């Protein structure tokens, strides 16, 4: 949960889930089964070898002498088992990741008639994982086979020497039979131990995959160099000459010398073409990524020196892709502030115009919504996200297309609720619909990762830049002749 955003950009959630389930299960099976076998057979082995020495020290010394010959191939085969089991687990995780992706996207898959293609691809992935698991099992079988052949082969060799001694009269037949029984017990237990070894080697493939996760580094600054944030923050944001490209696409400069200042309590609007980097600014403000050059600070504190937890406490966001969890409406809103009372949750829902539709649901605030909010409409999801941000009540408010899915009526009502909220806090509003940003103190126009114009709606309309072009397109009311043309 604490790993940086770039980790989640590069890893699929289903693959990670498979490490937590399939790999952990393999380790569990190996450990729980093997522990008892290993314990029983170690005791048997030690006891039998002790008795072998008591019966015939000379033969026992020879038998012990061949043990290193047995161990060397075990280690070599063990490595192969480990490698092959790792690749089997990788393939299994790949299949799981694909399954969880298409199950989550079932509506889109069905809408595009992609069921067969998806099923075939999943079948291929599973088949591959099955083949690799078989390869790993075969390698393990070879390990056990070689170990048992070597162990019992050396027992036969030692017994042949023992028979010679009986013939030479230096060992009694009774002693040899006694030695025979002990060495079969010892050899049997060594055989079982080698099987345990194979099992552990197989589990080691999974252990490696789990340790990779455990060894991932977070981006958080070391506690020693963390600068405390004066709480509550005043909310001044200074961004200067920010350069940034995503770790997954280092060749593309997403922010290219972006500068802006936001005074405490100010409301600014960020507008600009799709892909110009608006949401990226929010990601940097939340400390999900860090800039390559330039500086980004809140109340004069460089973001990179802040504990992410402290920083994020000061920011309320309504993200562009709203996330709704598969729990009750109440819990979804209270996610913004888990210690909030029911009354506070309802008050936030009212401000976000969510209350009316929530009380109309079967169980009101206790209604459990589907995964990712599947059982709600787009605008309802968005209003829950707004309620969540309102409830969090942080000094800095970030709205990324927060009202884009709402009808004009609801949008206006939600805007009123949000305006109360924006009153005394620093707010950045991203919107494509320019009507929603008219009231901002300042409008910043972004293009290709930098600010190209700024001012109020009126002052920008006097110019002749990007904003004016966008605004003319949006606010233009087609004349009668154009409507007639469209109809024709």
Ligand X SMILES: Nc1ncnc2c1ncn2[C@@H]1O[C@H](COP(=O)(O)OP(=O)(O)OP(=O)(O)O)[C@@H](O)[C@H]1O
Binding site for ligand X (CB under 6 A): 9, 246, 248-249, 254, 274-280, 320
Q: How far apart are CA 48 and CA 186, in angstroms?
A: 5
Distances (CA, A) of 159 to 72, 167, 188: 23, 12, 15
CB nearer to Mg ion: give 306 or 443: 443
Instruction: Compute the least distance from the CB of residue 434 to Mg ion, in Å.
Output: 16
Instruction: Compute the least distance from the CB of residue 5 to ligand X, in Å.
Output: 7
Peptide bond into 212 cis (omega under 30): no
Instruction: Compute the least distance from the CB of residue 16 to ligand X, in Å.
Output: 17
Residue 254 binds what, of Mg ion, ligand X, none (CB under 5 to 8 Å, by partner type)?
ligand X
Residue 412 binds what, of ligand X, Mg ion, none (CB under 5 to 8 Å, by partner type)?
none
Contact status: 11 vs Mg ion (CB under 5 A)? no
C-beta of residue 173 within 8 angstroms of C-beta of residue 92? no
Distances (CA, A) of 194 to 75, 133, 247: 10, 20, 45
H/E stretch holding 295 reads: strand 293-298
Q: Which of 41, 94, 183, 279 binds Mg ion (CB under 5 A)?
A: 279
Instruction: Compute the least distance from the CB of residue 288 to ligand X, in Å.
Output: 9
Instruction: Compute the least distance from the CB of residue 248 to ligand X, in Å.
Output: 4
Q: How far apart are CA 461 and CA 464, in angstroms?
A: 7
CB nearer to Mg ion: give 189 or 279: 279
DSSP-based three-state secondary structure for 311: helix
Instruction: Compute the least distance from the CB of residue 292 to ligand X, in Å.
Output: 14
Q: Dig out the tokens for 125 from the structure.
A: 């992935």
Contact status: 280 vs Mg ion (CB under 5 A)? no
CB nearer to ligand X: give 256 or 331: 256
Q: What angle do CA 95, 107, 384 make, to 5 degrees?
A: 105
Of 47-55, 106-114, 319-327, 472-480: span binding Mg ion (CB under 5 A): 319-327
C-beta of residue 191 within 8 angstroms of C-beta of residue 148? yes
CB nearer to Mg ion: give 34 or 436: 436
What lies within 8 Å, CB to CB, of 430 at 6+ separation is: 269, 270, 271, 278, 279, 282, 320, 399, 400, 401
Instruction: Compute the least distance from the CB of residue 280 to ligand X, in Å.
Output: 3
CB nearer to ligand X: give 78 or 277: 277
* Strand ranges inside 371-487, DSSP E: 396-400, 426-430, 442-447, 450-455
Residue 185 binds what, of Mg ion, ligand X, none (CB under 5 to 8 Å, by partner type)?
none
Residue 115 binds what, of ligand X, Mg ion, none (CB under 5 to 8 Å, by partner type)?
none
Instruction: Compute the least distance from the CB of residue 432 to Mg ion, in Å.
Output: 9
Of 131-139, 166-174, 277-285, 440-448: span binding Mg ion (CB under 5 A): 277-285
Q: How far apart are CA 170 and CA 162, in angstroms?
A: 9
CB nearer to ligand X: give 231 or 249: 249
Q: Which of 100, 253, 320, 405 binds Mg ion (CB under 5 A)?
A: 320
Residue 280 binds what, of ligand X, Mg ion, none (CB under 5 to 8 Å, by partner type)?
ligand X
Q: How far apart are CA 399 and CA 279, in angstroms?
A: 10
CB nearer to ligand X: give 393 or 447: 447
Residue 228 binds what, of Mg ion, ligand X, none (CB under 5 to 8 Å, by partner type)?
none
CB nearer to ligand X: give 272 or 395: 272
CB nearer to Mg ion: give 133 or 386: 386
Q: How far apart are CA 92 and CA 15, in angstroms?
A: 9
Residue 9 binds what, of Mg ion, ligand X, none (CB under 5 to 8 Å, by partner type)?
ligand X
CB atoms within 10 A of CB 447: 16
SS3 per residue for 184-203: HHHHHHHHHHHHHHHHHHHH
Q: How far apart are CA 91 and CA 126, in angstroms?
A: 8
DSSP-based three-state secondary structure for 360: coil
Residue 168 binds what, of Mg ion, ligand X, none (CB under 5 to 8 Å, by partner type)?
none
CB nearer to Mg ion: give 193 or 285: 285
H/E stretch holding 242 reads: strand 237-244
Residues of span 99-158 touching Mg ion by CB under 5 A = none
The length of the chain in residues reads 488
Residue 189 binds what, of Mg ion, ligand X, none (CB under 5 to 8 Å, by partner type)?
none
Contact status: 405 vs Mg ion (CB under 5 A)? no
CB nearer to ligand X: give 235 or 272: 272
Q: Which residues bind Mg ion (CB under 5 A)?
A: 279, 320
């Amino acid at each position: 949960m604490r790993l940086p955003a770039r980790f989640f950009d590069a890893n699929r959630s289903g693959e990670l889930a498979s490490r937590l389930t399939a790999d952990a299960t393999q380790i569990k099976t190996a450990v729980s089964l093997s522990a008892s076998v290993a314990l029983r057979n170690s005791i048997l082995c030690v006891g039998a070898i002790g008795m072998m020495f008591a019966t015939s020290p000379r033969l026992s010394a020879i038998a012990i002498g061949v043990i290193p010959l047995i161990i060397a191939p075990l280690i070599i085969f063990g490595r192969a088992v480990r490698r092959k089991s790792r690749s089997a687990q990788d393939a299994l995780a790949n299949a799981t990741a694909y399954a969880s992706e298409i199950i989550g996207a079932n509506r889109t898959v069905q809408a595009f008639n992609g069921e067969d293609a998806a099923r075939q691809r999943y079948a291929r992935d599973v088949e591959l994982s099955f083949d690799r698991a078989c390869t790993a099992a075969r390698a393990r079988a070879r390990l056990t086979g070689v170990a048992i052949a070597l162990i019992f082969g050396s027992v036969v060799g030692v017994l042949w020497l023992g028979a010679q001694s009986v013939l030479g009269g230096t060992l009694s037949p009774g002693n040899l039979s006694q030695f025979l029984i002990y060495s079969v017990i010892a050899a049997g237990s060594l055989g079982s131990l080698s099987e345990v070894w194979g099992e552990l080697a197989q589990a080691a493939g999974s252990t490696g995959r789990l340790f990779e996760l455990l060894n991932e580094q977070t981006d958080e600054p070391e506690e020693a160099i963390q600068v405390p944030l004066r709480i509550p923050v005043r909310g001044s944001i200074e961004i200067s000459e920010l350069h940034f490209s995503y770790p997954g696409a280092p060749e593309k400069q997403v922010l290219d010398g972006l500068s802006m200042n936001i005074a405490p309590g100010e409301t600014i609007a960020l507008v600009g073409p799709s892909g110009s980097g608006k949401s990226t600014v929010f990601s940097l403000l939340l400390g999900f990524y860090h800039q390559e050059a330039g500086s980004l600070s809140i109340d004069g504190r460089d973001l990179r020196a802040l504990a992410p937890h402290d920083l994020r406490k000061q920011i309320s966001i309504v993200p562009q892709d709203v996330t709704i969890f598969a729990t009750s409406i109440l819990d979804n809103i209270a996610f913004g502030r888990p210690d909030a009372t029911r009354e506070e949750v309802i008050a936030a829902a009212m401000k976000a115009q969510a209350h009316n539709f929530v009380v109309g649901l079967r169980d009101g605030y206790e209604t459990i919504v589907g995964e990712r909010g599947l059982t709600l409409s787009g605008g309802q999801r968005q209003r829950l996200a707004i309620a969540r941000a309102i409830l969090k009540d942080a000094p800095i408010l970030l709205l990324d297309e927060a009202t884009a899915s709402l009808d004009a009526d609801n949008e206006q009502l939600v805007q009123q609720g949000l305006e109360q909220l924006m009153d005394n806090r620093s707010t950045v509003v991203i919107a494509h619909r320019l009507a929603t940003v008219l009231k901002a103190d300042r409008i910043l126009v972004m293009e290709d990762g930098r600010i190209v114009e700024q001012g109020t709606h009126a002052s920008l309309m006097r110019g002749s830049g990007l904003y004016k072009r966008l605004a003319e397109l949006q606010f233009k009311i087609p004349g009668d002749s154009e409507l007639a043309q469209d109809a024709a």
